[in-house]
Amino acid sequence: MYAPAMPPVSLVTDTTQYLPREVIERHSIHLVSLYVNWNGRTDREADLPDYDAFYDYLRSGADLPSTSQPSVGDFLAVYEPLIERGDDILSIHLSGGISGTVHAAEQARQALLEQGVDEHRIAVIDSRSGCAGHGFMALAAANAPGGLAKKAAAAHALREDLQLLVAVDTLEFLRRGGRIGAARAWIGATLKVKPILTIEGEMQPVERVRTSARAFERLIEHLRQRKEDGCDAFGVQHTSAPEVAERLAERGREIYGADPVILSEIGPVIGTHTGPGLLGVAGLRSELLGTV
């Protein structure tokens, strides 16, 4: 007797992972967009061709932009056609400690269950990470063989090993936007330092350094340590700092003997809360990530 065919699994994530567009397309990952409200307008982040005008506005000292999560309807608009064509869905999102996006995804899932969709056909994962963190989880799932459960397990396995490190130019944007998390204790006289942070549910403080040069070297140290721990790949992201990000990538090439698996710019939704000048790195294991 033949076992029934396993349904295909569609991967869904939100725009705040900022993987390069060609990577998203290569792995057929479906996007749900967040929104940025700036300069008297509201844009879907997914519709912006680039981020230059936004970061020019952010630097100008004008009113701080605001951001908003997708609606339940935004998620249903992506989920419903996938369910109707027979796919299962694995939906991986920005940490619930930073945004309500994953909660909206869970509400959309619940709405479909109430319409009679089998609960085993849709899984929603709170990445407890952000930016490339949940993007890498989506890639691990996309590359994993098998059905929904195995792909979800692959995403979780990568997350267990993931260590993102970010250096922000100032805590001011995180403070103004209310996303500072456990780094709140650094507010005050320490606004002039260069904070090193990670994302573990929310922004978590790692270290304070005094200069941009020291922050840069701290990220290099992290990449070197991850290489010593067995990682064989790395990624770099930035907010409106392409030249410095390329220097960071070049140092990573010296350590890993390969190009970064991604070198991409973080967009307005996260950039609103971190400000320009953020640099982020991650060391990765190809056995968990798969092809990019």
**pLDDT, tens digit, 9 for 90 and up, residues 159-195:** 999 999 999 987 777 766 555 555 555 555 455 678 8
* pLDDT for 189: 47
Task: Look at residues 241, 236, 186, 225 and name the one whose alpha carbon lies nearest to residue 209.
Answer: 186
Q: What is the pLDDT of residue 3?
A: 55
- The predicted model scores a pTM of 0.93
Lowest-confidence region among 22-26, 64-68, 159-163, 227-231: 64-68
CATH T-level assignment (fold) for domain 164-289: Hypothetical Protein Tm841; Chain: A;domain 3 (3.30.1180)
What is the average pLDDT score of the chain?
Answer: 92
Q: Are 271 and 48 in contact (CB under 8 A)?
A: no
CATH code matching the domain that covers 9-34+69-160, chosen among 3.40.50.300, 1.10.3720.10, 3.40.50.10170, 3.30.70.1170 = 3.40.50.10170
* Domain boundaries defined on the chain: 9-34+69-160, 164-289
CB 95 within 8 A of CB 101: no
The DSSP result for 140-193, as a single string, is HHHHS-SSHHHHHHHHHHHHHH--EEEE-S-SHHHHHHT--GGGGGG-SGGGGS
Taking alpha carbons only, the member of 164, 129, 135, 136 closest to residue 279 is 164
Residue with the bigger pLDDT between 179 and 9: it is 9
Average pLDDT over residues 102-115: 98
